[in-house]
Amino acid sequence: MTRPSTTPATAGEVFTLIRSGSATTRSEIGKLTGLSRTAVSARVAALQSLGLIADDDEGPSTGGRPPSTLTFANSSGVVLVVAIGRSRAQLAVTDLAGTILAAEDIDKSVGVGPDELMPEIAEHLSSLLAQVHRASTEVIGIGLSIPGTVDVAAGASLDSPMMAGWDGVALAPYLASVTTAPLFADNDANVMALAELSERRESAPNLLMIKASTGLGAGIVMGGILQRGSLGASGEIGHTKTAAARGMKCRCGDVGCVETVASGWALVHALRDQGRSVGHVRDVVRLALDGDSEARRLIRSSGRLIGDVISGAVNLLNPEVLIIGGDMAEADELFLAGLRESVYGNATALATRKLQIASVSHGAQSGILGCAVLVLDHLLSAREIDLRIAASLHT
């Protein structure tokens, strides 16, 4: 990070260097930014006043007194995360580096509304905070994900066929008893894409995240930036029409959606129609991994059908990596084999020349880690840190 003298690095930008590990001493900050020693010291002092960085063990000496090492004070606050799905909610407390300190899953009934579920979530979050001995005042933000299109500004579901009764309901007030920290909400596939981006920011700034679970959705990252679309409705691949579902009614009320033949709920219904006792796509995956031939066939077919739909997205977006998450990703090669077959068969040779297709980096924790990233990317950005410093100077 070398900047012209006319635009000196701000304290927020210095913090970004320290947080990322790009600079660990005052002299390194000076070399990377061109700031004078006095300017570096002033910015470091401002960051220390906010409790965001600390002087740790002495660094290696190059002659004379060893320099002090500057580190990100990732234990100076915590984040609450809530990943709400059709049949369960995943909760966690993380530190400011996104490391999970405590976590818990809540099984929930299909169709439960926010008035019933959100107070229960609030109780469990308070319990998790107590478990890790942190006060509500140490919470800097709440990250929450929900299936379907999300009104990010309002912190509410905008359109979710699988979460009846949630659309338009602001969720932050339900958690006011836990903390007054701000709530950041987004679609479940979007936060999973953020979790992957945090792992692959340098190697894959263009990625397509597919969540294949009860429903189907996608998170799109281009140029290192999450793309939500004009109404936040980007990535709703589950309701793309496919010939394989012609005339079949989807739970969204339309007909012909790929979800009707390839989603988790479709696979569950297919096995139930054969007299099999399954309640969730996780049951289908378990059967497949145990060698059940029909479950294996359905999962491979699902991968193939989803691949048919997203091959067009691969042509359009040309990502470096296509990442598969959600419950069906637990079937690993059973699902990926069918998906690869369709993507490589239908997308152009150029778009797939260097394309990687892989499972999520964090498995079942991808959603909650993504919720943490959602908060941290907002509240620990250089701009936000500079605003906090400016506000502290006027108090």
Three-state secondary structure string covering the chain: CCCCCCCCCCHHHHHHHHHHCCCCCHHHHHHHHCCCHHHHHHHHHHHHHCCCEEEEEECCCCCCCCCEEEEECCCCCEEEEEEECCCEEEEEEEECCCCEEEEEEEECCCCCCHHHHHHHHHHHHHHHHHHCCCCHHHEEEEEEEECCEEECCCCEEEECCCCCCCECCCCHHHHCCCCCCCEEEEEHHHHHHHHHHHHHCCCCCCEEEEEECCCEEEEEEECCEEECCCCCCCCCHHHCECHHHCCCECCCCCECECHHHHCHHHHHHHHHHCCCCCCCHHHHHHHHHCCCHHHHHHHHHHHHHHHHHHHHHHHHHCCCEEEEECHHHHHCHHHHHHHHHHHHHHCCCCCCCCCEEEECCCHHHHHHHHHHHHHHHHHCCHHHHHHHHHHHHCC
Note the pLDDT of residue 208: 97
Q: What are phi and psi of 383, to 5 degrees?
A: -60, -45
pLDDT at 276 over 80: yes
Looking at the chain, the domain(s) classified CATH 3.30.420.40 span 78-188+371-379, 192-367
Note the pLDDT of residue 62: 54
Q: What percent of the chain has pLDDT over 70?
A: 95
pLDDT at 274 over 90: yes
Note the pLDDT of residue 55: 85
Q: Which of 232, 191, 188 is nearest to 213 (CA)?
A: 188
Note the pLDDT of residue 162: 75
Mean pLDDT of 143-156: 93
Across the strands, what pairs with 227?
A: 220
Q: Which of 225, 249, 210, 239 is nearest to 355 (CA)?
A: 210
CATH of domain 11-73: 1.10.10.10
**pLDDT band of 309, cuts 50, 70, 90:** very high
Note the pLDDT of residue 160: 81
Q: pLDDT tens, 49-88? A: 999 999 875 555 555 566 689 999 999 999 999 999 887 8
Q: pLDDT tens, 47-60? A: 999 999 998 755 55
pLDDT at 2 over 90: no
Q: pLDDT tens, 15-33? A: 999 999 999 999 999 999 9
Q: pLDDT tens, 335-345? A: 999 999 999 99
Mean pLDDT of 156-176: 89
Note the pLDDT of residue 268: 95
Which one is predicted more confidently, 162 or 181? Answer: 181
Note the pLDDT of residue 241: 94
Q: What value does the mean pLDDT of the chain take?
A: 92
**pLDDT band of 102, cuts 50, 70, 90:** very high
Considering the four listed CATH numbers 3.90.25.10, 3.30.420.40, 1.10.10.10, 3.40.50.720, the one that applies to the domain covering 78-188+371-379 is: 3.30.420.40
**pLDDT band of 251, cuts 50, 70, 90:** confident
Report yes or no on whether pTM surpasses 0.85: yes
CATH of domain 192-367: 3.30.420.40
